[in-house]
A and B are shown apart, each in its own frame.
Chain A
């Protein structure tokens, strides 16, 4: 079973600052199998990044994903008020369980 560990658990930043969120896998993950989701209070998650770096429709280019192997990063270049949310990484694998999520990083306004 591949375990995804996200850090930090909570990130307190101000609008305009740069956010760097980490997702570390317990085993190597194919980049094509790593995704990020954004979840705002009371809403369902939204696919943000697929294939480690491919931005989903509707998200601006201040969001970017990178990484390979066991270390992946979500970067938000300049935070806007609407970016404060919880972010989850997710992987799909050939072993059980079929999918797993990290525990999430809460990005809050400082």
Chain B
């Protein structure tokens, strides 16, 4: 059974940084296309970052370009999201999601809450 578990969320001041992690079990993430998707309180879903299985290709949404970086450690079966220059608009639940079909998000973690506030 596939399980994705995010960690690393919390309260951070504007301008600060945070690193989220997503540990996978029941699958080898080297075979999976992985993304980070966020959901602001009471709002809809926003895809923000993608990594191909080999990490040969990564891309971000314009809203986080230049500030967020996705990476993965296939040996640790984990995906990461380094978030810099955080603003209050980045407050959201952050989900890692992915699958062996790059077109959809077959598996999701439970999410980790990031709150940016002074």
Contacts and interface: CB of A to CB of B under 8 A. Distances in A.
Interface in B58-109: 59, 61-62, 95, 97, 99, 101-106, 108-109
Interface string A66-110: 000000000000000000000010101000111111111000000
B103 A98 contact: no
B62 to A, nearest CB: 7
B27 interface: no
B45 A98 contact: no
Interface string B21-56: 000000000000001000000001111001000000
Interface residues of B, number: 22
Contact of A98 (B46, B50, B108): B50
Contacts, number: 59
B44 A98 contact: no
Contact of A102 (B44, B50, B62, B101): B44
Nearest to A35: B104
Nearest to B107: A47
B12 to A, nearest CB: 22
Interface in A46-74: 46-47, 50-51, 56
A47 B46 CA distance: 15
Contacts of A102: 44
Contacts of B95: 44-45
A101 B37 CA distance: 10
Interface of A: 32-33, 35, 37, 39, 43-47, 50-51, 56, 88, 90, 92, 96-104
Interface of B: 35, 44-47, 50, 59, 61-62, 95, 97, 99, 101-106, 108-111
28 contacts: A33-B103, A35-B105, A37-B105, A43-B110, A44-B108, A44-B109, A44-B111, A45-B95, A45-B97, A45-B108, A50-B103, A50-B104, A51-B103, A88-B44, A88-B45, A90-B45, A92-B102, A92-B104, A96-B62, A97-B61, A98-B50, A98-B59, A98-B61, A99-B47, A99-B50, A101-B44, A101-B46, A102-B44
A-B pairs with the 9 shortest C-beta distances? Answer: A99-B47, A44-B108, A101-B45, A92-B103, A35-B104, A50-B104, A104-B44, A97-B61, A103-B44
